Amino acid sequence: MPMRFGRFLFGLAALSIAVAFARSVKSLVPASVPMATEDRVQLPGWWPTKGTASRDEFLGPDACEACHASKVRTQKQTPMAHAALRPEDSEALRSHEQLTLSLPPYTYQISRQEAGSLYSVTDGKQTISLPLSWAFGLGQSGQTYILERNGTFYESRVSYFPVLDGLDSTPGQSQAAPSTLEDALGRSMLYAGETQRCFGCHTTASTTNRRFDPGHLIPGVTCEACHGPGAKHVAAMKAEKIKVGLKAILDPGQLNPVDQVDFCGACHRSYVDVVLSKTFGIRNLRFQPYRLERSQCWIKSNSGITCLNCHNPHQPRARDLASYDDRCLSCHRSPAPTGGRSGKVCAVSTNNCVSCHMPKYEVPGMHAKFTDHFIRVIRKDEGYFD
């Protein structure tokens, strides 16, 4: 127990120093310290969720097909590409004529229409019905809906969960019964930039010229959400100006490891984002950059392991846990790989590493388990280790 507490304190102290350091020196050495996403997007050049380019610089994924056909084909199959869907493209909505949930004194209903879906809430006397604007989340773990009423966006009070094959309360929303039918629709996203941030992580080119413009976005996280607007790259490549073309697009594969993890963290939340938002306990489980960077594997290997060791962003993630073994064994084997590092070797098993060292935890309200990216030895009966 004392040891754990000590590690926790050390963790927090180290975090605040890292944050202070990152923020004070960012203009000097932007490339080598973990940073907050809000600071990253202020630097010159592209960064995911940055909203300064103009809409006509974005071409959409079909424009990449002629030269990067296989990436376009496989990326389309990823949940990221479907992080925001038109209701008529949502499998969860298409396969249910009607979804209902009673959260007294209100009753919710989502019914399939000829085109799209209708969301209704009633208190038995009055009813508000609205067409759904967007379905957020492919729906593998859950799907939440966005509604628009009189110019205000709402996050639906009920979400779809595949394990329930039905609706339940949207995680993170107040459990208290709303006092008006209007409030019962969902959480209104009135305060500054919230809707914009939602769309910034789930779609491509929703904010352009610093203006939120959902009418012209490209649904889902597609090529240019990560690589930046592609018009200049495509024009140069077509003209066979290779050098100009390469300069006009970001290749995150060339970033150093700290930047690479922050890159995915633009949406998955970077280490510093998590510290600044003071998200402690099980609520930070899903912020993989933060969890990974707490691991000895990251700290003691001089940032030798990034998201890209285990995930190809152009493909759906590998579901077979044993397929991750070779990444672990690239460091944890004896004798050391030629020219490579040798980490300690496991005395317990030679395979299925992540099944023990990256356990899955249930997140309250989510009806699903998520993978802990804080790689470590799990002591018997140990709960979530913050």
Q: Which of residues 159-198 bind ligand HEC (CB under 6 A)?
A: 197-198
**Window 332 to 361, contacts with ligand HEC (CB under 6 A):** 332, 341, 343-344, 346-358
Task: Report the largest interatomic distance among the alpha carbons of the chain, rounded to a whole angstrom.
Answer: 74
Closest to ligand HEC by CB, 100 or 141: 141
Span from 89-97, 111-119, 175-183, 330-338 in contact with ligand HEC (CB under 6 A): 330-338
Token reading at 232: 């200049």
Span from 6-14, 23-31, 275-283, 291-299 in contact with ligand HEC (CB under 6 A): 291-299
d(CA 302, CA 325): 20
d(CA 225, CA 218): 9
CB atoms closer than 10 angstroms to residue 364: 9
Buried/exposed 152-173: b ≥16 CB within 10 Å, e otherwise: ebbbbbbbbbbeeeebbbbeeb
d(CA 356, CA 45): 40
Closest to ligand HEC by CB, 132 or 234: 234
Token reading at 38: 């809000």
Closest to ligand HEC by CB, 55 or 311: 311
36 binds ligand HEC (CB under 6 A): no
**Window 116 to 145, contacts with ligand HEC (CB under 6 A):** 136-138, 140-144
d(CA 205, CA 166): 31
Span from 14-22, 109-117, 161-169, 329-337 in contact with ligand HEC (CB under 6 A): 329-337
Contact 63, 227 (CB under 8 A): no
Size of the site for ligand HEC (CB under 6 A): 105
**Window 229 to 288, contacts with ligand HEC (CB under 6 A):** 230, 233-234, 237-238, 246, 249, 251-253, 261, 263-264, 266-268, 286, 288
Taking the complex as a whole, the smallest distance from the CB of residue 349 to ligand HEC amounts, in Å, to: 4
